[in-house]
Amino acid sequence: MNAMLSRCANPGWLVGCFIVLLSMSLARPVIAAPDPIRLGFLYPSSGPYKEMGIAEARAALMAVDEINASGGILGRPVELLIRNSASKPAKARAAVEYFAREKVAMVFGGISSAVAIAAGKEAAKHRLLFFSAHSYANGTTGVHGHRHIFRESYNAWMSSKALSMHINQSLAGKRVFYASADYAWGHSTEASMRVFTRTEDTSQHPGTKIPFPRPSYRDIQAAMEAAENSGADVLILTQAGDDLATAMQIAHTMGLKSKMTIVVPGLTLDTVRVTGVGLLQGVVSTVPWCWKIPYQYGYQPGIDFVEGFVERYEGYPSSSAASTYSILYQFRDAVERTKSLSTERLISAFEGHHYTGLKGPQSWRTFDHQNIQDVFVVRVKDRNQALQDRFNEDFFEILLNVPGQFAARSQEEWQNTRLLAGKPPQLQ
């Protein structure tokens, strides 16, 4: 070959050498690029939970870019197909149906339990896995649970049990009023909070439901007025996104915070950002994760995620972003372990799997597909404290860290709930 190339330096040999080299080039086999692994991602780019949805989308794109830069999954690039759920179950079902037609390997994302439940059931029809990134209703992996759905975030039971450990002593002898979103998350959060705070007596501890989705200003105002007129000492307000922002603005105008303690069972960075830290300061809540946790507890994967997210987007990731990012890496790892995209083989790979992720030690439970992780009870910081941070988003003071195994329902409790709802005591 070297001799031939040296001869090609002679002009008399140029034509012949060109023919030889061209024939050698044409004789080489053409290596086709590997087909991408398609994943279906649904999130609300519109509607009351759009801020949390945007955080999910940013984390998903970041994870896919990282995974592809490191060689993809089984040597194949990852391709995202994206649909807007608008936090509406019907749109979520249509999105999953579209993903199935496009031959995705799995579906993930979503904000709101109604979306997660609907998307999970539709995914099961197509023998697809669905991973919920942000769904707190107990029913998602409870009475509505099945073999094709996994939940990365904590649930209302876990959040309520952890929160009750902090507030029960201060609730002794006090009357509580519940203002809950009128759908799966609101219902299960109120039910769980009543059990753990021993406030099941609705005559002593009344409540009202706020329409969902898209309650009107008057709907929320009526709930705040009912809370004030009840004479209760504590308001447990189960709202999120834009709806929580409206509720807290009304509560501020009415001076409710000077008349009663307000507890919000679940918060995220995005919700505080939308509502305003000044309106929420002093409110006690829970989070499945926040950006300070990996630094406080020394979780290096979480630190790397936060710093990578900040470098890319010039802002902190929320808990829904962390869950979305984690799902993609967990899926990649399960596929690499099984060397397969088979739904059945992947279900087996997830069930009982323990790992250390962005939130520290985590695991996927076999009997209900709930992710077990620590729950953090937090208080929203004073506005002046929160704004000392470089992005003005140091929102949460961590009051209590409750181990996930303690916070979660036991298998017996889970089975009893299923049996009372006429469901089999195992996933199907």
Confidence of residue 77 (pLDDT cuts 50, 70, 90): very high
**Does the pLDDT at position 89 exceed 60?**
yes
Q: How many CB atoms lie within 10 A of CB 423?
A: 17
Determine the Cα–Cα distance for residues 163 and 271; give it in Å rounded to an integer: 18
Model confidence at 4, in pLDDT bands (50, 70, 90)? Answer: very low
- Rounded to an integer, the average pLDDT of 76-104 is 97
Q: What is the pLDDT of residue 13?
A: 40
Is the pLDDT at 17 greater than 70? The verdict is: no
Q: Which CATH class is domain 157-291+376-407?
A: alpha beta
pLDDT at 12 over 50: no
Nearest CA-CA partner of 357 in 403, 396, 302: 302
Superfamily designation of domain 37-155+295-373+409-420:
Response regulator (3.40.50.2300)
Task: State the DSSP code for 422.
Answer: T
Give the pLDDT band of residue 29 (cuts 50, 70, 90): low
Q: pLDDT digits over 349-363, tens only?
A: 999 999 999 999 999
Torsion of CA 73, 307, 134, 153, to 10 degrees: 80
Lookup: tokens for 124: 């099961």
> Residues 333, 326: contact at Cβ < 8 Å?
no
Q: What is the pLDDT of residues 389-403, one digit of tens each?
A: 999 999 999 999 999
Asked if residue 213 has a cis previous peptide bond (ω within 30° of 0), the answer is yes
pLDDT at 213: 86
The pLDDT assigned to 31 comes to 63
String of b and e for 384-412 (b: at least 16 CB within 10 Å)? eebeeeeeebbbbeebeebebeebbbeee
Residue 313 CB coordination number (10 Å)? 16
Contacts of 266 (CB under 8 A, 6+ apart): 136, 156, 159, 189, 238, 240, 285, 286, 287
Q: What is residue 33's predicted lDDT score, i.e. its pLDDT?
A: 78
How confident is the model at residue 26, as a pLDDT?
47
Mean pLDDT of 119-134: 98
Tokens at 81, concatenated = 């197909």
Tell me, what's the pLDDT at 272?
96
- Is residue 364 within 8 A of residue 150, CB to CB? The reply is yes
What is this structure's pTM?
0.89
pLDDT in tens, 170-224: 898 999 999 999 999 999 999 999 999 999 999 999 999 999 988 999 999 999 9
pLDDT at position 30: 55
Mean confidence (pLDDT) of the chain: 92
pLDDT category at 21 given cuts 50, 70, 90 is very low
> Which among 139, 397, 427 has a CA at the least distance from the CA of 282?
397
Q: Identify which of 136, 111, 234 has the alpha carbon closest to the alpha carbon of residue 179.
A: 234
- Decide: residue 428, CB within 10 A, 0-12 exposed, 13-18 middle, 19+ buried: exposed
Q: What stretch(es) of the chain map to CATH 3.40.50.2300?
A: 37-155+295-373+409-420, 157-291+376-407
